[in-house]
Amino acid sequence: MGTEGYILVGILVFLLIIIIRGIKIVPQAKIYVVERLGSFYKAWGTGPHFAWPFIDRVLEPVSIKERVVDFKPQAVITKDNVTMQIDTVVFFQVTDAKQYTYGVERPISAIENLTATTLRNIIGELELDSTLTSRDVINTKITAILDQATDRWGIKVNRVELKNILPPREIQDAMEKQMKAERERREKILQAEGEKKSAVLVAEGEKESQILRAEAAKQAAILRAEAEQQAVILRADAIREQKILEAEGEAKAIELVQQALAGGNAANPAQSVIAIKSLEAFAKAADGKATKIIIPSEIQSLASLAASLKEISADTTTVEQ
């Protein structure tokens, strides 16, 4: 092979190297901005592309993934002149690689400064208490302002979060004392409510106990009254039965006497009949209004009277048999 052959081979190898170096493969979630002869030519998406040597220039790839940037704390002043430190976290995404590349110098620094100024403006309209309790409102306002301002840079601000709010140390001490006082107040309220409920329960228990004791006493009184009533009824029944038996006995005795009188001889009465008649006559005499009573000779002696009563009893028994 001559010199011309070597030169031709060298030219072919050089052209092959240039062609190989001109082939660009764009990965996923990346965009390549290409300039041709110093001006914007095209933005390449995912896939293989070819850049002409010495004509096309591929700039730094632009990531279209969502990014998270944590900015350092910023000193802000509230409406009531309280200085505090607030640091923010910004979530954004590149939507236009051309505008992102040519729109602003150092986009991250621009977003940081814009966030700081916007935060100062919003916090300056709020007092300390509102600042501490209005995180969502502040986040929404900052997000809306940043999204509108960065739209011409090809950037979409998805959300902004306040990471930390650090008031001065004396304010923190005052807030801690306030929180402690509030907790103590709530504790006293809870304790008072507990004591109140306990007293109510005790009173209700005492009330229920008194009601139960009263009902028990009432039931006992009712039972005693019923028992006394039953006892009175039983005593009355016993007395009635006793009187009935006595009346029946007296009726039986009278019947026996009548039978004895009917069965005796009128001309020659029995001694028992004579004794009974004598007693009846003596009873009538004693019941009268006479000032003097003549006692028959047959009943002058107690012994004779007792003997007569004994004979009458014996005769009654014999008749009943």
Above 50 in pLDDT, residue 163? yes
Domain identity same for 182 and 254: yes
Beta strands in 71-185 (DSSP E): 74-77, 83-94, 155-166
Domain identity same for 71 and 161: yes
Among 294, 301, 303, 304, residue whose Cα is nearest residue 272 = 304
Domain count, the chain: 4
Using one digit for the tens of pLDDT, what is the confidence trace for 218-266? 888 899 888 888 888 888 888 888 888 888 887 787 777 677 666 554 4
Domain identity same for 317 and 237: no
Domain identity same for 281 and 254: no
**SS3 label, residue 1:** coil
Q: Give the predicted TM-score (pTM) of the model.
A: 0.52
Distances (CA, A) of 256 to 249, 270, 307: 10, 14, 19
Half-sphere exposure of 33 (CA within 13 A, CB side): 16
Q: Which of 140, 167, 194 is the last residue of a domain?
A: 167
More confident residue, 142 or 298: 142
In 3-state terms the chain splits into helix, strand, coil percentages (rounded to 5) of: 65, 20, 20
Q: For 142-153, give one letter per residue: b (16+ CB within 10 A) or e.
A: bbebbbebbeeb
Range of the domain at 200: 170-263
Distances (CA, A) of 140 to 143, 160, 247: 5, 7, 115
Q: Which of 139, 167, 195 is the last residue of a domain?
A: 167
Calpha distance 182→176 (Å, rounded): 10
Domain identity same for 246 and 283: no
Q: Which of 167, 192, 214 is the last residue of a domain?
A: 167
